[in-house]
């Protein structure tokens, strides 16, 4: 666990907004050196200016986390400037929905590229650096936090491509945790599973690469976008509160981090259905009016 933050290095992807920016702010207040990573230049520059003005030492890097070469260059830049990072927050993410058979190849490439491959690159590049630092110094401590979602523990309909990406992040991070425990006691891992928190992720299409823009959105995708924006914008838990929970979890070496623990009821229902061999439970059991609204909208569109 990390309890002494002063002078330590934090690598934060998706640092220009949402969870990433709030985690960076908290890290700066703790005296950490910051590596801010984002694909949106103006947001990245604004974050770098703010945190530099606050007194933090900042290395800002515009990176598409889905791109292996760009992530490898990032890792080299971090190593050259600060050495092995003590805290890695693989947080960059995008949102997309619609009926799962309507997602194009470009949709899958974009969402899996950012949400999953971005985390994979962060893990494969920074973990060896952290392990080397731990071997060289028995007092060295580090922690990796990967951002998944409650959609990584559930399977809400009409957002399959996002669900798949976040389930993979949960599995990757659970395995990372177990693998690390085989080889070291000096590096921990956690997975962040937020629910509906106003972060700007519902507008992530703004950063979609031109080469991965496909056909105009289908009716189901438009419906999913509207419902997602409504749910996210109405969230009462703030990104700043979730960022604090991230640091609290690191300090007590807690693996699962939730923004809305009360939302875990459906997770328990899903797991019981798996163990009992039952069919997947009704995702709208607690909100039947939402399910009725979605079914009516999709059936009217067909």
Could you list the active site residues? Answer: 162
Q: Do 17 and 200 touch, CB atoms closer than 8 A?
A: yes
Give CA–CA dist 36/47, Å, rounded. Answer: 8
Residue with tokens 């959105």: 217
Give CA–CA dist 54/82, Å, rounded. Answer: 19
Give CA–CA dist 255/180, Å, rounded. Answer: 13
CA angle 122, 118, 17 (to 5 degrees): 100
């Amino acid at each position: 666990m990390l309890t002494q933050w002063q002078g330590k290095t934090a690598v934060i992807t998706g640092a220009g907004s949402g969870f990433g920016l709030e985690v960076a702010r908290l890290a700066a207040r703790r005296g950490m050196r910051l590596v801010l990573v984002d694909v949106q230049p103006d947001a990245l520059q604004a974050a770098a200016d703010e945190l530099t003005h606050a007194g933090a030492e900042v290395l800002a890097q515009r990176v598409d986390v889905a791109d292996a070469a760009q992530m490898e260059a990032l890792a080299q830049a971090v190593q050259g400037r600060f050495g092995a990072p003590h805290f890695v927050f693989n947080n960059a993410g995008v949102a997309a929905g619609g009926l799962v058979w309507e997602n194009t190849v470009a949709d899958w490439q974009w969402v899996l590229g950012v949400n999953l491959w971005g985390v994979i690159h962060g893990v494969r590049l920074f973990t060896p650096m952290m392990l080397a630092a731990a071997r060289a110094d028995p007092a060295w401590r580090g922690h990796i936090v990967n951002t998944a979602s409650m959609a990584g523990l559930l399977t809400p309909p009409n957002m399959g491509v996002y669900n798949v990406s976040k389930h993979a992040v949960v599995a990757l991070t659970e395995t990372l945790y177990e693998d690390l425990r085989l080889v070291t006691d000096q590096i921990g891992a956690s997975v962040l599973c937020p629910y509906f928190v106003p972060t700007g992720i519902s507008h992530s299409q703004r950063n979609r690469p031109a080469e991965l823009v496909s056909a105009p959105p289908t009716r189901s995708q438009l419906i999913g976008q509207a419902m997602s924006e409504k749910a996210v914008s109405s969230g009462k838990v703030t990104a700043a509160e979730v960022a604090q929970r991230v640091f609290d979890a690191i300090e007590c070496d807690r693996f699962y981090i939730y923004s809305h623990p009360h939302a875990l009821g459906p997770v328990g229902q899903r797991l019981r259905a798996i163990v009992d061999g039952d069919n997947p439970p009704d995702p709208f059991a607690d909100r039947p009016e939402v399910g009725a609204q979605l079914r009516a909208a999709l059936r009217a569109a067909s």
